[in-house]
Chains A and B, each alone.
Chain A
Amino acid sequence: MKGLRETFAHDTWVMPYLRKYKGLLILVLFLGFMTFFSGGALMFNSGYLISEAARQPSSIIYIYVPVVLARAFGIARPTFRYIERLTSHNWVLKIVSDFRKKLYQTVERKASAIQRSHQTGDILSILADDIDHIENLYLRTVFPMVIGWLLYLFIVIGVGSLNWVVGLLMLLLLGIIVIVLPLASVATNGVREYRQHQIQHEFYTNLTDEVLGLGDWLISGRYDDFINLQKKPIKQIAQLRKKDHYFQWWRSFFVQFVVLLTTITLLIWAANSFTATKSLANWVAAFALAIFPAVSPFLNMSQGLSEWPVYRRSIERVNQLDRDQPAKVDQNQLEGHFKELKIANVTFKYPDGDRNIVNDISMTIHPGEKVALLGPSGTGKSTFLKLLVGDLIPNDGQILANGKDVSSLQKVRSSLFGILDQQPYLFDTTVMNNVRLGNTNATDDEIKDAIAAVGLKDLIESLPDQYNTEVQETGKRFSGGERQRLSLARILLQDAPIIILDEPTVSLDPITEKKLLDQVFDLLHNKTIIWVTHHLAGIAHVDQVRFLENGHFDMQGTPQELYQQEPRFRQLYDLDRGK
């Protein structure tokens, strides 16, 4: 229980929504209760009906009410169940909409515009799964548990009002099923679940490792090693599953055993209290028949609750997201045209890092200038870009656009910076919609012009759906070069004064690369360009080259100057040209 309190101590994901949709929630619980109530009442009523009928009363009037009730409960049960299912699904789906928005907003606050790969996709999938888990928490655990408890209370109070001793016995016996066993299951399963999670995780990572390195395994001919590596976790998983199954089977059996005890208790009670008169004895069958449908919702409560550890991890993970949110900075407007971007003595170190990634860097960039930034991977090129656009805040120094700190210009950032990176993302929608993202107010003609400018007009118009062609998941309908050009069209529409090129050609072959670079610098000739690149192809397009190494610039100048004055640059350039 302590764990439960901890989980919900700073919860913003479960409780608030229970409160928000309180009305519907109560309706769901009521309908669920009525479903099982009707099920029990049908058998209760039927038992009474035939017992009374067997007395052969003089008139049909005596059984008229039970006859009507039998039909009523017979129809009520499935109807309540039907409505309950619809209502509960509707309720959960409403919550899911809220969840998705909330998750999106939480992730959005921390996201950076500078991204080198989509690795984070895995983490995001996990988060999306967490949302599903919380959905299941309601449908599979919360609703059945609460409905079960309501029914439990009803039975105990109902029987208790007739005979408090039997009521007390019901409280104890059924309490074993609805309270003790579920809690015991969580306790047992909590430990096992943890272990299982560990082993599965190990198996999962090992197997991924093996499959990704399959080529090496194959060539090395180590077939036996390959197979043996997985034998242990496979066996461990099998053992855990076995324990899990055995536990579940015997638990179900035990639940049934308690049901049996309950039935016998009721029979004995009936034998003692209902055999005084004939009319009283008619109730014996009623109670005996009602017991089985009445306890049916209790049978799966243990299983429902034992899934709690899985849900708990999900709840904790999404709640974790709310922490360490970045501090808010007062926002400003950029007045007039872009005049200069000034980087003044900027130093930056990651909180968990051991060295300054950027160390006292200063430079000023004026409108129309083209700057190339080079350096081996890991020297902080992308950190530098993140600082530049304001996704990271320097420890020391300032980055100023027209004299205003970029961190205060975040609201108007897209009118200042356009970014083309390694893998610009195309959303799973049409070409038209994807390009329109550059400027949502653009007309269809403006979009077509932008597509024509990047040289994709003929290609797109040759497709059966033309501008309404679906780009498919992550834009895989198009080649790498085409995706880059579609993104370039987006940037043309965006029309920001400063364009950041973050290794846009790294996954392209030299011919495509050359064409794209020629096109980029041609179309953006009047923009300011800051270009991070990993080699020297197309370097003639820029008027300034800077090498970033160990947090500062160690070679800088025009490409021509560097070629003439710096042997290292000359050697690299010649190598890049294939000499």
Chain B
Amino acid sequence: MSRGSEVLIDKRLFNLPGMRRYVIILGILVFLQAIAIIVQARYLSIAIVNLWNLMPIGSIILPTSIFTVAFLCRHLLTVWQNRVLFPFVEKTSGDMRESLMAKIFRLGPAEIDKRGTGNIVTMALEGIDQVQTYLMLVIIKMLDMSITPWLILIYILFIRWEQALFLFIIFPVIILFMVILGLAAQSKADRQYEGYQHLSNHFVDTLRGLSTLKQLGLSKRYANNVYSVSESYRTETMSTLRIALTSTFALDFFTTLSIAVVAVFLGFDLLDGKVMLLPALTILVLAPEYFLPIRNFANDYHATLNGKNAMSAVLDVLHQPEMKQRDELPDFKWNQDSMLTLDHVNFTYPETTQPALKNISVTIKGMQKIGIIGASGSGKSTLINLIGGFLSPDKPDQVAIDGHKLPHLDQAAWQKNFLYIPQNPYLFHATLADNISFYVDNASKQSIEDAAQRAGLTEWIKRLPAGLDTMIGEGARTVSGGQAQRIALARAFLDTDRKVLLFDEPTAHLDIETEAALKKDILPVFSDHLVFFATHRLHWIGEMDYVLVMDHGKLVEQGTPAELAQKNGDYVKLRSEMEASDL
């Protein structure tokens, strides 16, 4: 059983706050319930035996009443157990949900991206629900299994030790067979489950690739492929299922047959006069109750397993290390004299060996416009993410602001100073005005309108049904890539406190006309700001004061565009590779 319990129980379960106390209270309730079960069986048997002795109906009133009370107690105790446990489970899972939210915030976008937004959201919603079900199931079931059968067994021992011995011996035999047949089969079934996921993915895969199949003229024919894959999966599943179900069959077979055997032996003993009907009947009534907890435990194997895995996954995220020392940097405002230093910075992504940034040294002072260029994979975005504090350098004290050496740039005081504008700025499901004023508390309507005007949104807003109050984002009005950039731009115009702008390929996916129009509106925001602008659209370089050229994670050249053009080095080479010929 130890293997089984390990499979179904995460050890961290017992470290949940308050767990010990609840286990004791529930243990007492389960104990009382086991007594109710015995009383119920005893008095039902008495009533039956009285009738068997052809006694009048009056003789069964008392035993039937006691049976009734015991029966009701037993089931009320079930409700009671649940009611006692539920507040604990509710609080634990509720707390877990909130800690998960807080953790998501602290882990930041880079880490969440790695795990997949869908996974995290599903975890917070369905994962926690599964944890709740798991906690409700597993605690009571475990206690039930470790108390009820043994109490019943002791009682039977007092009535007739031979049957008690038989039931006692058969218990480990059942478990042994379950383990032998079950574990082998179960691991196969688990693999089958993976196979199932695979098939289900194959199906989704096919549906997603449908337009490609249509392009290739294969889509009609593929229907038969879908069917035959599914059918071969069925044959495979059935062959595994035949073995997998033997585990349940073994349990079922032994428990049912044990009851039959008990009945038959009791029959023979009665025949020989070795035992009276009342004790025999009591044992027969109790025999199924003896096996009930283990059957219950085995029945919801998959539900319990899913719950356990869900809980382990949640706990893993909660125990994920996060960036600490977020308040090393005192509050400050970026100004003409501020200075950001990167001193031989290396950065390696977790689970990789090659650093993505190698030995980057650069000093930035005051309000400048810094272009970052390079081929894809050269480390432009990684550098921007490191400056934004979403990634932490391999070693501490390699970055500094105004001479304060810092472990990383995930500093609350630094984050108050910049805005980050990626390729696809995220638009919240909210009004346009709320989206623009996301970074500014209590922005006046007038100031929002001004910012929108400067970002070139006015014409578009006029055409919207509710103007600035129109809902945008997921599930509401869709916004084109160009307008999304303008909304991000309006945020920058509105928030005059943030003097640093981090652009990561803001126009890469826009069509050339939209980009040309957008450029006109972006340029004014550059003045009086420190700008980092990672791009592979070369025309932006003309607007920069200083250029960093990246190649394979290294900073291969830096200087003003004019200096670099004269050098005839990496910058010139990169430009010639990217540039189209004359017409």
Instruction: Name the contact of B117 in the complex, choosing from A63, A120, A208, A288 (C-beta under 8 A).
Output: A208
Query: With A208-B117, A211-B120, A427-B209 given, is the CB distance from A101 to B273 under 8 Å?
Result: no
B438 at the interface (CB under 8 A from A): yes
- A76-84, A347-355, A444-452, A453-461: which one contacts chain B? A76-84
Q: Is the CB of A125 within 8 A of B204?
A: yes
For the residues of B in contact with A, the DSSP-based class is helix
Q: Is the CB of B207 within 8 A of A97?
A: no
Q: Is the CB of B220 within 8 A of A70?
A: no
Query: With A218-B108, A260-B71 given, is the CB distance from A576 to B52 under 8 Å?
Result: no
In the complex, besides A376-B513, A534-B510, 11 extra interface pairs with C-beta distance below 8 angstroms are A42-B260, A50-B281, A71-B264, A75-B257, A103-B207, A211-B104, A216-B426, A218-B108, A412-B217, A536-B512, A538-B580
Q: Could you show 6 A-B contacts with beta carbons less than 8 Å apart?
A: A200-B125, A226-B101, A376-B514, A418-B215, A510-B578, A578-B578
A288–B44 Cα distance when bound, in Å, is: 8
| Binary CB contact string for chain A from 282 to 302 against chain B (1 if under 8 A, 0 otherwise) | 101100110011000000000
Instruction: Name the contact of B214 in the complex, choosing from A113, A124, A242, A376 (C-beta under 8 A).
Output: A113
Q: Is the CB of B245 within 8 A of A86?
A: yes
What A residues does B145 contact at CB under 8 A? none
CB distance from B12 to the nearest CB of A (A): 22
What B residues does A242 contact at CB under 8 A? 86, 90
What B residues does A250 contact at CB under 8 A? 79
What B residues does A260 contact at CB under 8 A? 68, 71-72
| Binary CB contact string for chain B from 118 to 131 against chain A (1 if under 8 A, 0 otherwise) | 00110011000100
Query: With A113-B211, A284-B48 given, is the CB distance from A128 to B512 under 8 Å?
Result: no
What A residues does B271 contact at CB under 8 A? 53, 56-57, 60, 63
Q: Is the CB of A67 within 8 A of B264?
A: yes
What B residues does A23 contact at CB under 8 A? none
Q: Is the CB of A271 within 8 A of B415?
A: no
Q: Is the CB of A214 within 8 A of B581?
A: no
Instruction: Name the contact of B284 in the complex, choosing from A39, A50, A78, A118 (C-beta under 8 A).
Output: A50
A293–B90 Cα distance when bound, in Å, is: 33
- A4-12, A181-189, A251-259, A337-345: which one contacts chain B? A251-259
Query: With A50-B267, A213-B426, A214-B108 given, is the CB distance from A375 to B511 under 8 Å?
Result: yes
A494 at the interface (CB under 8 A from B): yes
A317–B403 Cα distance when bound, in Å, is: 62
| Binary CB contact string for chain A from 509 to 530 against chain B (1 if under 8 A, 0 otherwise) | 1111010000000000000000
- B54-62, B333-341, B392-400, B443-451: which one contacts chain A? B54-62
Q: Is the CB of B82 within 8 A of A249?
A: yes
Instruction: Name the contact of B266 in the complex, choosing from A42, A50, A108 (C-beta under 8 A).
Output: A50
**Contact residues of B between 20 and 73, Cβ < 8 Å to A:** 44, 47-48, 51-57, 60, 64, 68, 71-72
B13 at the interface (CB under 8 A from A): no
Max chain B C-beta neighbours (<10 A), residue from A90, A94, A576: A576
Q: Is the CB of A267 within 8 A of B238?
A: no
What B residues does A474 contact at CB under 8 A? 205, 208
Instruction: Name the contact of B514 in the complex, choosing from A100, A104, A377 (C-beta under 8 A).
Output: A377
What A residues does B575 contact at CB under 8 A? 578
A293–B255 Cα distance when bound, in Å, is: 13
Q: Is the CB of A535 within 8 A of B203?
A: no
Closest 6 CB pairs of A and B: A414-B217, A578-B538, A74-B260, A46-B263, A509-B376, A78-B252
What A residues does B54 contact at CB under 8 A? 275, 278, 281
Query: With A219-B420, A281-B54, A285-B52 given, is the CB distance from A214 to B112 under 8 Å?
Result: yes
A213–B109 Cα distance when bound, in Å, is: 8
What B residues does A164 contact at CB under 8 A? none
Instruction: Name the contact of B223 in the complex, choosing from A101, A234, A253, A375 (C-beta under 8 A).
Output: A101
**Contact residues of B between 175 and 233, Cβ < 8 Å to A:** 200-220, 222-224, 226-227, 230-231, 233
A26 at the interface (CB under 8 A from B): no
CB distance from B428 to the nearest CB of A (A): 5
What B residues does A212 contact at CB under 8 A? 117, 426
**Contact residues of A between 395 and 453, Cβ < 8 Å to B:** 412-415, 417-419, 421, 424-428, 437-438, 440
Residue of chain A at shortest CB distance from B86:
A245
Q: Is the CB of B429 within 8 A of A209?
A: yes
What B residues does A82 contact at CB under 8 A? 245-246, 248-249, 252
**Contact residues of A between 344 and 389, Cβ < 8 Å to B:** 374-378
What B residues does A77 contact at CB under 8 A? 252, 256
Q: Is the CB of A218 within 8 A of B105?
A: yes
Q: Is the CB of A104 within 8 A of B51?
A: no
Residue of chain A at shortest CB distance from B263:
A46
Q: Is the CB of A219 within 8 A of B388?
A: yes
A326–B426 Cα distance when bound, in Å, is: 36
CB distance from A288 to the nearest CB of B (A): 5
Residue of chain B at shortest CB distance from A481:
B376
Instruction: Name the contact of A121 in the complex, choosing from B48, B208, B256, B426 (C-beta under 8 A).
Output: B208
Query: With A238-B90, A425-B208 given, is the CB distance from A204 to B121 under 8 Å?
Result: yes
